[in-house]
Amino acid sequence: MIGVENISVSLGKHAAVRNVSMAIGAGDLVGFVGPNGAGKTSLLRALLRLVPVDEGSIFLDGSDITGDQPHKHARDIAYLPQGQSVAWPLTARRLVALGRVPHRSTWENLSAADKAIIDKALEVTDTTQFADRPVTELSGGEKSRVLLARALAVDAGVLLVDEPTASLDPYHQLTTMEALKSAAGAGSAVGVVLHDLNLAGRYCNRLCLMHEGKVVADGVPRDVLSDENLARVYRIGVRRDDRGDVVVDRRLNDAS
């Protein structure tokens, strides 16, 4: 389990996260939704201590990790940053193997168990077929699936993923969400930043709706994605289709 209590984060003079408290429990798949600049990414980066928090505390499995450096707890928290680039033309398999780095000492080779975890991560992200190709030769969507596999290969109790579906085709958006759901099903605490509200509503068991640095709604998707919330936070008017999915209808220009 990972959580924050009353944390605030500022980027320069801008308050990116304001007095937020929330937690992701084992087995939870929590979606962070909200408009651009709502503070979703800053909240994830604060959980990883990649940005300093102005106030408040970060907890991992009951202990306070607020002051710990980012490289601590590498076995316990896996992170997939947004739109990552890869510096060298490593093969996809070698890249995914980096997920095992926290579990091995300096010159130790991959064990059979490590290899099984890597193979599984490649499989659930549907990337096995290009495992031996350099990632620099893959398309944007293929590369982001390989990078997700890298995060899954850490096999950590906490998995934080920033916009994993951004460049994916619809089929692989579903594969990705299923991979995250099965990680949660296996007992991990999973937090994922998403922009597709229906994908978030369908797969996540809980949503955190953020707006201007605050969590304005936290609960089951149906309650969080109410017409009122969407109107207030996203400034959109919506309709519902026959499965209850959100259909964006119009912009609401009136701020009230």
Partner 1 sequence: MGLRSTYGAATLLGALLVLTMIAALFLGYAPLGMAEVFQGLVGQGDERYVFIVQDIRLPRILLGAMVGGSLGLAGAAIQGLLRNPLADPSVIGVSSSAGLGAVVAIYYGFAASSAVIVPIFAIAFAISAMLVLVWLAGKDASVLTLILAGVAISSLAAALTTLAMNLSPNPFSLNDIILWLLGSLANRSFTEVWIAGPFMVAGWVLLLLTGRALPALSLGEDAAATLGVDLRRVRLQTIFGAAFAVGGGVAVSGAIGFVGLVAPHIVRPLVGHDPGRLLLPSALAGALLLVLADVGVRIIPGDTELKLGVVTALLGAPFFLWLIIYTRRTMR
Give the binding site for partner 1 (CB under 8 A). Answer: 45, 48, 50, 69-72, 74-75, 77-81, 84-91, 94-95, 98-99, 101-102, 106-107, 134, 136, 147, 150, 154
Closest CB 7 distance from partner 1, rounded Å: 18
Closer residue to partner 1 (CB): 96 or 209? 96
Q: Is 13 left (phi over 0), alpha (psi -120 to 50) or beta?
A: alpha
Q: Is 152 helix (H, G, I), strand (E, B) or coil?
A: helix
Closer residue to partner 1 (CB): 71 or 243? 71
Closest CB 176 distance from partner 1, rounded Å: 18
Closest CB 97 distance from partner 1, rounded Å: 9
Asked whether the beta carbons of 44 and 32 are under 8 A apart, the reply is yes
Closer residue to partner 1 (CB): 14 or 75? 75
Residue 12 buriedness (CB in 10 A; 0-12 / 13-18 / 19+): exposed
Closer residue to partner 1 (CB): 70 or 237? 70
Closest CB 43 distance from partner 1, rounded Å: 15
Number of neighbouring beta carbons within 10 Å of residue 123: 13
List the structure tokens of 55: 């106030």
Q: 195: which strand partners?
A: none
